[in-house]
Amino acid sequence: QVQLVESGGGLVLAGGSLRLSCAASTRTSTNFAMGWFRQAPGKEREFVATYRFNGGITRYADSVKGRFTIFRENGKNTVFLQMNNLKPEDTAVYYCAADSTLITSQLSNPGAYDYWGQGTQVTVSS
């Protein structure tokens, strides 16, 4: 069992920055991956970014490429999502997710992740 603890959400003006963090209680295999998803009111949960520990592979949704960066704290089971140039459409509850069994094609699929954090609200005002 993996517990995920998120932090770092908040309210920011458009164009501003926020950094989210997610700490995993354990890493179950070298194929461990941690990702960020978000869900806005009335919308489905969508992929934002993911990081696979083996090889440091990263993936991003097209909507955040060039603005968001996912990275790992060296030697720890913690990943960060640095969000720059935030837009009002980035407003959502952001969830951290983790899994150790995913193949590359599954990394952006929220249904494929077994472990989820409690979510943190990000609000971007215009």
Cβ neighbourhood burial of 103 (10 Å; 0-12, 13-18, 19+): exposed
pLDDT in the model for residue 1: 87
b/e string for 39-57 if b means 16 or more Cβ within 10 A? Answer: eeeeeebebbbbbbbeeee
Distance of CA 117 to the CA centre of its chain: 10
Please say if the pLDDT value at position 95 is more than 90: yes
Question: Is the confidence at residue 13, as pLDDT, over 80?
Answer: yes
What pLDDT sits at residue 6?
95
Calpha distance 60→1 (Å, rounded): 26
Q: Could you report the per-residue pLDDT of 48-93, keeping only the tens digit for each?
A: 999 999 888 999 999 999 999 999 988 889 999 999 999 999 999 9
d(CA 39, CA 73): 25
Distance CA 12, CA 123 (A): 6
pLDDT the model gives residue 104: 87
In the chain, the percentage of residues whose pLDDT exceeds 90 is 84
pLDDT over 90 at 45, yes or no: yes
